[in-house]
Amino acid sequence: MEDLITRIEAIDWNEIATNMHEKGYAILPKLIFEKQCKELINLYDEPIGYRKTVVMERYRFGLGEYKYFDYPLPKTIQTLREQIYPKLAPVANLWMKVLKIDKQFPNTFNELQELCHKNNQLKPTPLILKYSKGGFNTLHQDLYGDVYFPIQTVLFLNEPDVDFEGGEFVLTQQTPRAQSKAIVLKPKKGDMLIFTTNFRPVKGKRGYYRVNIKHGVSELYHGERHTLGIIFHDAIS
């Protein structure tokens, strides 16, 4: 884990913050390596370590499957949660300030988790998703209770155009009194995408206003696609 922590610390987080403020997302290239990607994919078929499996078609969420990890989390996932959250908390807090929302997030992940637990949000939210040919994920927001952090991340564990075709990551931005804007992203294996959970501020002529964000995955035409979602707040259910 020391190597992963070193890579996280070496990232230019000022640049990441700028991207988040300007675009609502940022990509960390090659945050994890081939071996770690394979290890995480192999976890998918393990019989233990999960609290819930969701077949997406059953709930009209899309076509595919995902599993929520149970506590204790695998070390890689726990490290990512603990080490990346403090880098993003200042971004989230600035968003609250410019949007004049009376809310501030704590500086450390442990403090955020304590806040979740005080609100009866006790269940872990990191999840691993698997899509095959025809799979997709409808546009949605990952909110699991009254306490939610407005930024989350996803790790891409397969190589696009090699392991699968299609399956682009899609963000939609709904600006008030305007048409929605679609953003289509295609990160590579080992990349981490940081993106807005449900809204972000945009500067207008009269100050900042709030735009709503949803995310999803376009249809896979071939192969298999695995991703690891890191959501920082815990869930009620």
pTM of the model: 0.96
Residue 29 domain boundaries: 2-230
Model confidence at 102, pLDDT cuts 50, 70, 90, reads very high
Check residue 178 and give its pLDDT: 75
Check residue 206 and give its pLDDT: 85
Domain membership flag for residue 74: yes
CB-based burial label for 73 (10 Å; 0-12, 13-18, 19+): middle
Domain membership flag for residue 236: no
Rounded to whole angstroms, what are the CA distances from 54 to 22, 50, 186, 200, 220?
Answer: 34, 11, 24, 28, 19
Domain count, the chain: 1
Average pLDDT rounded to a whole number, residues 169-183: 88
Domain membership flag for residue 42: yes
- Cβ-contact 234, 124 below 8 angstroms: yes
Domain membership flag for residue 237: no
CA nearest to 130, candidates 81, 100, 163:
163
CB count within 10 Å of CB 43 equals 18
Domain membership flag for residue 140: yes
Domain membership flag for residue 136: yes
Domain membership flag for residue 167: yes
CA nearest to 177, candidates 141, 142, 202, 150:
202
Average pLDDT rounded to a whole number, residues 96-114: 97
The CATH number given to whatever domain includes residue 44 is: 2.60.120.620
Average pLDDT rounded to a whole number, residues 86-102: 97
Model confidence at 212, pLDDT cuts 50, 70, 90, reads very high
Domain membership flag for residue 54: yes
Model confidence at 140, pLDDT cuts 50, 70, 90, reads very high
Amino acid at 162: V
CA nearest to 194, candidates 49, 83, 101, 107:
83
pLDDT in tens, 21-71: 999 999 999 999 999 999 999 999 998 999 999 999 999 999 999 999 999
